[in-house]
Chain A
Amino acid sequence: MFIKEYISEIAKATKSLWTGMRLTGHYFVRPKTVITQQYPDNRDTLKMADRFRGEVIMPHDADNLHACTGCTACELACPNATIKVITKFELTPENKKKKALDTFVYHLDMCTLCGLCVDACPTGAIQMGQNFEHSVYDRSTLTKKLNKPGSKIREGVE
């Protein structure tokens, strides 16, 4: 019958609307379900995942030694020329010329953080850092020198 259909249609519609309202109402009265993270305030407790790729870093140990041989594998692996390895020749104690790292230039502004350089590094000299707060006012500060001044290659790394 027409009237019966008409009324059941309205009842069904009202029920479906009420189901939705009950759900939003459910969350409205439960402030504990709020998932907002108040980012700059939670810096102390904010922990990024270990593997999070935020930037390329070159770890130095306490004696200011790194593991980069200057082989340029990372430079070749990089899809967008983010890394430039400048090498120099050093004299070993045996008076032999040996290729060594002079400057490890890293253009953070060009980096897509794909991780291919870290994957390519044979000595594990570079790693992905977890720092992600890279915004600066001057773009030139994003061109970084990764090896610290006066640092040397660790003994035994070939």
Chain B
Amino acid sequence: MYTETQIINNSNDELVINVGPQHPATHGVLHLVITLQGETIKKVEPHLGYIHRSIEKMCESLTYRQFICASSRMDYLSAHINNHACALTVEKGAQIEVPQRAQYIRVIMDELTRIASHELWWGAMAMDLGAFTPFFYAFREREVITEIMEETCGARLTMNYMVPGGVMTDIHPDFQKRVKEFIQLFKSKIDEYDDLVTNNIIFQNRTKGVGHLSKEDAISYGCTGAVARASGVSCDIRKLYPYDIYDKVTFNEILETAGDSFARYMIRMGEMRESIKIIEQLIDNIPEGDYQAKTKAVLKLPKGDFYTRVETARGELGVYIVSEGAATPYRIKFRSPGFSNLSALDQMARGGKIGDLMATMGTLDLVIPDIDR
């Protein structure tokens, strides 16, 4: 924090502004201390911890079934994928064989969550750039997904549908029908997104060449997800280290080389289309069988440490569990994608204008509880 005298004594005509913790563009309680010269950004310093709830510590007192629902509260927009990561780690440790049917359901749900998350990001990013209408169009389609989720999982945002060994309940009888309807709807609406935002000349001018991140920087900052792929780093965990049935589906890893905000935007738009492709391949082929493997009443992981990573809507999420053989983990660490992506913000925003900072922050797709945990 800067005192008033520090600001006055600043000799280079620099202006220090606190963006946040309450600011419309930070989408949460992110606090950025930015140093300006005129409108040009000299430095961006993120201050974290406003929504730190010590989820990692909390998980140490929860059993392997219980801690999954806490992970929904990290990156709440891809809650399903977080749960999936936790469930995968427990299954890896306890060596539980997950039934095929459960794997199919999980992947379909993951991809639906990814679409829902990108939809929200699309609307929120357009809002960062001053266009309010896209937000409502995005939520119209997102609402369909949340309704599908509500029908099958019982909740709209923090589903807690994944359990070690499969999924909590079988899919709703209407599930396949409704997902197919959604695919039809979404395919007709995604062109509207292009009309409204992607091809808009103002939007393109605002994002092209803005917030550049080179491939080397993306790797050295540990960026993952769309942020790294926009800089040409191939890092899709679904492709590189397939989990569940991702090795059975065909889809493209979207890669761009420009490394600017527009490239990050195009990556996410492409990912939505790829997710649709994945769902289309799976939705009619869900095999019959159990949706949940038989597990012991009290799950215990053998002594050792276990790590899995998955591709959430924001990037690579790693779950690291150290077990002492008890019913609760000894230590848990989540490697959240948002934290690493945020750390590259300073590099990207330097030299740009305040408006560029908002555009860059929008394309980073930050979810603050994911960064702070």
Contact = CB atoms under 8 A, between A and B. Distances in A.
On whether A and B touch (CB less than 8 Å), the answer reads yes
A57 to B, nearest CB: 14
Nearest to B62: A79
Contacts of B220: none
Contact of A79 (B70, B143, B158, B192): B70
B210 interface: no
Band of interface residues on B: 20 to 34
Interface stretch (B148-156, B277-285, B353-361): B148-156
Nearest to B61: A79
Contacts of B62: 79
A116 to B, nearest CB: 6
Contacts of A124: none
B66 A51 contact: no
A116 B66 CA distance: 8
Interface string A23-53: 1100000000001000000000000111111
Contacts of B151: 49-51
Nearest to B161: A115
Contact of B196 (A20, A113, A115): A20
B95 interface: no
A77 B66 contact: yes
B288 interface: no
B140 interface: yes
Contact of A128 (B69, B154, B197): B154
Nearest to A35: B140
B65 A77 contact: yes
Interface in B186-238: 192, 195-197, 199-202, 204
B183 interface: no
A139 interface: no
Contacts of A13: 201
B328 to A, nearest CB: 11
B163 interface: yes
A35 B151 CA distance: 19
Contacts of B196: 20, 23-24
Interface string A1-30: 000000000001100110110111000000
Interface residues of A, number: 26
B254 interface: no
Q: Which residue of B154, B163, B200 has the most chain A CB atoms within 10 A of its CB atom?
A: B154
B168 interface: yes
Nearest to B160: A114
A109 interface: no
A16 B153 CA distance: 41
A151 interface: no
B169 interface: yes
Contact of B200 (A20, A22, A35, A77): A20
Contacts of A24: 133, 196
A23 B195 contact: yes
A51 B153 contact: yes
Given A52-B150, A119-B168, A19 B155 contact: no
Nearest to B150: A49
B172 interface: yes
A130 to B, nearest CB: 10
Nearest to A37: B143
Interface in B33-74: 62, 65-67, 69-70
A16 B201 contact: yes
Contacts of B160: 114-116
Interface string A115-152: 11001000000001000000000000000000000000
A157 B150 CA distance: 31
A116 B158 CA distance: 13
A106 B370 CA distance: 30
Contacts of B143: 35
A108 to B, nearest CB: 15
A119 B172 CA distance: 16
B79 to A, nearest CB: 11
A49 to B, nearest CB: 4
A79 B67 CA distance: 7
Contacts of B154: 49, 51-53, 115, 128
A150 to B, nearest CB: 31
A112 B67 CA distance: 12
5 contacts: A16-B199, A49-B150, A52-B155, A78-B66, A116-B66
Instruction: List 4 A-B pairs, minimum CB-CB distance, nearest first.
Output: A79-B66, A114-B69, A13-B201, A51-B154
Interface of B: 62, 65-67, 69-70, 133, 140, 143, 147, 150-155, 158, 160, 163, 168-169, 172, 192, 195-197, 199-202, 204
Given A77-B66, A116-B69, 16 more contacts: A13-B201, A17-B201, A17-B202, A19-B200, A23-B192, A23-B196, A35-B140, A49-B154, A50-B151, A51-B150, A77-B65, A78-B66, A79-B66, A79-B67, A79-B70, A128-B154
